[in-house]
Amino acid sequence: MRTVTVGTRGSTLALAQTRWVVARLKEEWPDTDFRIQTISTKGDRNRASLESMAQKGDKGFWVKEIEDALLEKRIDIAVHSLKDLPTEQPAGLEISSIPKRVDARDVLIGKEGMKRLADLPPGARVGTSSVRRKAFLRAYRPDLAIIDLRGNIDTRLAAISTPDYDAIILAAAGLIRTEMRHRIDEFIEPDVLLPAPGQGALALETRADDDLNIEVAYAIHDHGTDDRITAEREFLAGLGAGCMAPVGAHASVKGGILTLEGWVGALDGGQVIRGTTSGDPAECADLGAELASDMLGQGAQALIEAAHA
Ligand SMILES: NCc1[nH]cc(CCC(=O)O)c1CC(=O)O
């Protein structure tokens, strides 16, 4: 039997989503043996420096060691959360498959009486470390206290049981994939808070010349998801921004028309720029690039640069 080695970070979420991918791949390739190999990244080893890495523009925080393992043929397919993946892959690697997205939305989890964003009392302490969520919260509810909250999903959920936090905001997808959907109190709709580009989607990365494993991975590719996240990621790339920028994007398809919404905010909440465009899903990349240049024309770059300063 042929063996394909699938590489991933070792966090609960990374392992859960990789096991899901492997189960899907096994359905398509029952005669292939899939082996999961965990790899520790700079992001896992050095959470404290996350912020300074973002400032230096280090976009490969969660993926560098995994990409090295691909290039050195220690693994054949890497599974990533798409939103953590830089908009460009290193020479020799490519994204060869994007499985069907789960839920793209952010969610709120709160203490008793703190279970809806709009109903949080003034001064409520909301935990998040994402610059996008911080920028949004400061603009939407300047009266809230935003408190840094890092760590994996378990650590963040535990924060709700301490006096330091009243509510936290997380990606729905992470909770759904780790079977903690029941902990979600409120799904925050994209018209309130735009998710991170690619949120809720996975990417399977392979060597660009490895036809065999490209074919293996591509068996679980989802074209509809690909159109949507291509629009979102081209928007992000067009802004010259990465996964640690105060940028939100969400694409949806209705009646054969793709609508892309974009958002850029000042980290202090003082300014937000929002835009939207729609067109043929086949033009998804152009739609993303157009919206980016439109919003650059409205001053988006200054907001992105200020957040990294
Ligand atoms: N940056 C961490 C990260 N990367 C992917 C997810 C969630 C799952 C996803 O969006 O696919 C999370 C946690 C979070 O933002 O709450």
pLDDT tens-digit profile of 75-85? 999 999 999 89
84 catalytic residue (yes or no): yes
- Answer whether residue 276 shows pLDDT above 90: yes
pLDDT at residue 1, as a whole number: 86
All domains of the chain in start order, with CATH: 2-99+201-221 (3.40.190.10), 106-188 (3.40.190.10), 234-308 (3.30.160.40)
pLDDT at residue 23, as a whole number: 98
CB-count burial class (<10 Å; 0-12, 13-18, 19+) for 33: exposed
196 vs 179: CA distance, rounded Å: 21
Helix count and strand count (H, E) for the chain: 11, 13
Mean pLDDT of the chain: 94
174 close to ligand 1 (CB < 6 Angstrom): yes
pLDDT digits (tens, 9 = 90+) for 209-231: 999 999 999 999 999 999 999 99
**Candidate of 13, 62, 148 to mutate for ligand 1, largest count of ligand atoms within 8 Å of Cβ:** 13
125-127 and 167-171: which strand pairing? parallel
pLDDT at residue 55, as a whole number: 45
Query: Coil, strand, or helix at residue 113?
Result: coil
174 vs 176: CA distance, rounded Å: 6
For residue 177, give the ligand 1 atom closest to its CA: 8
pLDDT at residue 56, as a whole number: 47
199 close to ligand 1 (CB < 6 Angstrom): yes
Q: Whose CA is nearest to atom 5 of ligand 1?
A: 81
Select the more confidently predicted residue: 30 or 309.
30
Rounded to whole angstroms, what are the CA distances from 276 to 122, 140, 214, 251, 264?
A: 31, 19, 34, 10, 12
81 close to ligand 1 (CB < 6 Angstrom): yes
**Candidate of 82, 100, 199, 233 to mutate for ligand 1, largest count of ligand atoms within 8 Å of Cβ:** 199
Which candidate in 31, 76, 84, 164 is catalytic?
A: 84
257-265 and 247-254: which strand pairing? antiparallel
173 close to ligand 1 (CB < 6 Angstrom): yes
CA-based nearest residue to 275, from 256, 293, 292, 262: 262
Edge-to-edge strand order for the sheet containing 257-265? 247-254, 257-265, 272-279
93-97 and 202-207: which strand pairing? antiparallel
Q: Whose CA is nearest to atom 7 of ligand 1?
A: 174
Alpha-helix residue ranges (DSSP H) falling in 60-185: 64-71, 131-140, 153-159, 172-177
- Answer whether residue 289 shows pLDDT above 50: yes
pLDDT digits (tens, 9 = 90+) for 48-86: 555 555 544 555 678 999 999 999 999 999 999 999 899
